Amino acid sequence: MTKPFSSIGKKLPANWNSIWRGGDRARPGLTKLFWAILWLLLAVLSWTLAIQLARSQPPFKIGSVVAAIVTLALIIWAFRELWQSIIFLGVKRIVFIFISVYGIILVVNVLTVPSTDPVSTRVMKQLGATGHQMWNSLTSLLHSGIHAPDDFLFAYTGQQAPPPPVPWFPTPHPDATPIQGFAVSAGKPSPSIPVQTRQPEPSTSSESTVSPVQTEQITPIETNSLQITLVYPEIEAFIRRGEAEQYFSWNIEGNLSDNQSFEIRFYKIGESEFDAPFGWVKENGQNINLNALGGSGEYEWSVVIVQGIDGNWERDVYESPRRPINWEG
């Protein structure tokens, strides 16, 4: 009986054949692979510490630079161990290890994901879901590595350049005359314009009188001086269950008044109601825990400029365009 992949090595050159088959050092190869994974886990912990220290006050900020250098050293050492494990084990054994890990995750998902379907149906459903889960984990890790320098710079300095506009996006003419936008209480407001979605609480003052009912109220809102650009997380970011704590950031053109603040809102796809359990902030960013949301799934998030004092909402001044995000939960 022919062994799987046995004919592949015969068609490769000598050097590639040795990499495909590996040597007779399976145990050292597994050891190297174990240490590579361990160094990568330590690098993740070190990088988390670096980001947290970068957001702190001096002299702790200096420690963030040290932690970042340690993280880089751990990653380089991990890739060295990983390459040596490939040399010892061979690509063929690495493929079998990957398939084994996939099978373990598949079995765990079939046994733990609630479902009333027969076992065969659950297995077929989880075949694609498990592959998608592993692919999202790999792409998320790669994406985090690509944007790591920019994330560290933003955490350390609090500044980040806004993404460049798309080439076809129109830019305002410097001699253009600014206009005013209006939010109308009737009808369904657009998500990308200033809206007024809540009603102020009635006054309990003894001097207040009953006012006549108004069928339509138009409140002018000056929007030419306010514009929010969402920065992080990126469009359609996939946030894993173990990464619930995320730093959301944005840029603003214009200045907030003393009675205005930022509020992050989350809209479940297909629903008009929003979740905003994270409070108000004055800074252009907020560290939030996504476990505070109602559950996992696909959301859209936006940043709203709210007007009010001491948490007492008066009105919404401006809402940024919404950005999709996938929360594994």
Q: Considering the domain boundaries, does residue 71 fall inside one?
A: yes
All residues at 6 or more sequence positions from 22 whose CB lies less than 8 Å from its CB, including other chains = 29, 86, 87, 88, 89, 90, 91, 92, 93
Last residue of a domain, one of 157, 183, 198: 157
Q: Considering the domain boundaries, does residue 207 fall inside one?
A: no
| CATH value at residue 272 | 2.60.40.10
Q: Specify whether the CB–CB gap between 314 and 273 falls below 8 A.
A: no
What are 220's strand-pairing partners?
Answer: 182
Q: Which pLDDT score, from 0 to 100, does residue 256 have?
A: 86
Q: Which pLDDT score, from 0 to 100, does residue 305 have?
A: 92
User: Average pLDDT for consecutive 10-residue bins of the chain (329 residues)?
Assistant: 49 50 69 88 89 81 88 91 81 81 85 80 82 75 76 69 48 53 45 48 48 43 67 86 86 87 91 88 90 86 90 89 86
Vertex 166, ends 165 and 170: CA angle to 5°? Answer: 80
Tell me: do 235 and 303 sit in the same domain.
yes
Taking the alpha carbons at both ends of the chain, their separation in whole angstroms is 46
Q: Which pLDDT score, from 0 to 100, does residue 89 have?
A: 76
Tell me: do 22 and 149 sit in the same domain.
yes
Rounded distance between C-alpha atoms, residue 260 and residue 304, angstroms: 10
Q: Considering the domain boundaries, does residue 174 fall inside one?
A: no
Tell me: do 143 and 226 sit in the same domain.
no
Q: Which residue has the tokens 């469009």?
A: 235
Rounded distance between C-alpha atoms, residue 260 and residue 237, angstroms: 28
Alpha helices in the chain (DSSP H): 6-10, 14-21, 26-54, 60-89, 91-112, 119-146, 148-157
Q: Considering the domain boundaries, does residue 196 fall inside one?
A: no
Tell me: do 142 and 246 sit in the same domain.
no
Q: Which pLDDT score, from 0 to 100, does residue 267 have?
A: 92
Q: Considering the domain boundaries, does residue 121 fall inside one?
A: yes
Rounded distance between C-alpha atoms, residue 236 and residue 301, angstroms: 10
Tell me: do 150 and 221 sit in the same domain.
no
Q: Considering the entire predicted model, what is its pTM? A: 0.42
All residues at 6 or more sequence positions from 134 whose CB lies less than 8 Å from its CB, including other chains = 102, 105
Tell me: do 138 and 249 sit in the same domain.
no
Q: Considering the domain boundaries, does residue 36 fall inside one?
A: yes
Q: Considering the domain boundaries, does residue 192 fall inside one?
A: no
DSSP letters, 66-114, are HHHHHHHHHHHHHHHHHHHHHHHH-HHHHHHHHHHHHHHHHHHHHHHS-
Q: Considering the domain boundaries, does residue 31 fall inside one?
A: yes
Tell me: do 124 and 253 sit in the same domain.
no
Domains in the chain, number? 2
**What is the extent of the structural domain holding 260?**
217-327
Q: Specify whether the CB–CB gap between 241 and 329 falls below 8 A.
A: yes
- Nearest partner of 264 among 246, 243, 288, judged by Cα: 288
